[in-house]
Amino acid sequence: MHNMDDMDFPTPDVPVESVTPAALKARIDAGEAITILDTRMQSDYEEWRIDGERVESINVPYFEFLDADIDDEVLARIPDDREITVLCAKGGASEYVAGALKERGYDVEHLDEGMNGWARIYERVAVERYDGAGRLYQYQRPSSGCLGYLVVDDGEAAVIDPLRAFTDRYIDDAAELGVELTYALDTHIHADHISGVRELVDRGVEGVIPEASVDRGVTYADEMTLAVDGDEFRVGDATIETVSTPGHTSGMTSYLIDGSLMATGDGLFVESVARPDLEEGDEGAPEAARQLYASLQERVLTLPDDTLVGGAHYSDAAEPAADGTYTAPIGRLVAEMDALTMDEDEFVDLILSDMPPRPANYEDIIPTNLGQQEADDEEAFELELGPNNCAASQESLAGD
């Protein structure tokens, strides 16, 4: 071994092939059988990892490979009859481990930039069932399940729930589509990722946040357009209507895009409903759950059955539609999700009974999104690594 890299791992003596995150994602999407050796610590692995229908994932922390003589029991856990993709957090440990395995005859590659690189994948997928004016796209971040929306018509565009890490991407996509990005709208104060609305305002885009969210202590409200229930924003001939849907948070707001798709933020997902405890904690959760029930029953489920729902997140339990987007007609969700046909007491009991852990670093992400504390781009990116955990447990909500 020779030359220490910036991660303080020796560079392997043998050349190690690498795979880019985008190329690995394409192979997973194509249904290839992939075997991953994840060398992060077990706690990180259990919190979030790369999954897929034909992905086999093995977790052996990198320190198990540091001795010149790797334990036979460790090697016995790693298949030697197929290619192995080794990954770590940033790419240093995985290259070292892949080299150690290659020297022992394994067929290996390592993932460029590790899970940090995986977290930079951001895909724009056309919503084919959208039948409003113009075109509608869904943004997908597979590492965390974050979703956003881009509506485009007649030279203008609006992005809903933009992520700060992809500020340049929205500007570039608008240019590629030959339109000007005119609006950036947030559905609520997010707890799982850093919003990109303020950065887009700095680029000349009109920022929109729900007026109801300002009571939580937003410090930049005077730079924003404050949306109240019923407000409409025009994008070419398309209309984005503001629909107040409190529950996940007191200021939670949905946006109905030209009567065709309801961007529900963290209120309703294609596989679950919101968790109600991220604003007022366990104490305020029962009241928030009742608010959520009323919002869903009175403001969302009253829309025509063929209205599409698109949330701000998806989980491993979500099945994409035929067009590859995580969208579904309201009628189908009502038919498939027991929680949407329960009475209020049953609904409240259900979503309070089985909530997953809160999002990683939410106690720093919320104040950052409120403008109460600062984070530079790298700090912001690091804060939001991991699962979003903004839904109630999927297992308890789906129909049998």
At residue 315's C-alpha, the angle toward residues 311 and 320, to 5°, is 70
**Under 8 Å between Cβ of 226 and 209:** yes
From residue 369, give the alpha-carbon distance in Å to each of 94, 117, 119, 221, 229: 33, 23, 19, 12, 22
Residues with catalytic roles: 88
Instruction: Determine how many CB atoms are found less than 10 A away from the CB of residue 316.
Output: 10
Q: Reduced to 3 states, what is the DSSP secondary structure of residue 17? A: strand
Which of 115, 107, 152 lies closest to 39, judged by CA?
A: 115
Closest Cα to residue 127, out of 4, 309, 265? 309
297, 271 in Cβ contact below 8 A? no
| Helix (H), strand (E), coil (C) string for 75-105 | HHCCCCCCCEEEECCCCHHHHHHHHHHHHCC
Is 158:174 a contact under the CB 8 Å cutoff? no
Q: Is 282 exposed, middle or buried (0-12, 13-18, 19+ CB in 10 A)?
A: exposed
Partner residues linked to 126 by β-bridges: 137
CA nearest neighbour of 37 among 90, 104, 101, 92 = 101
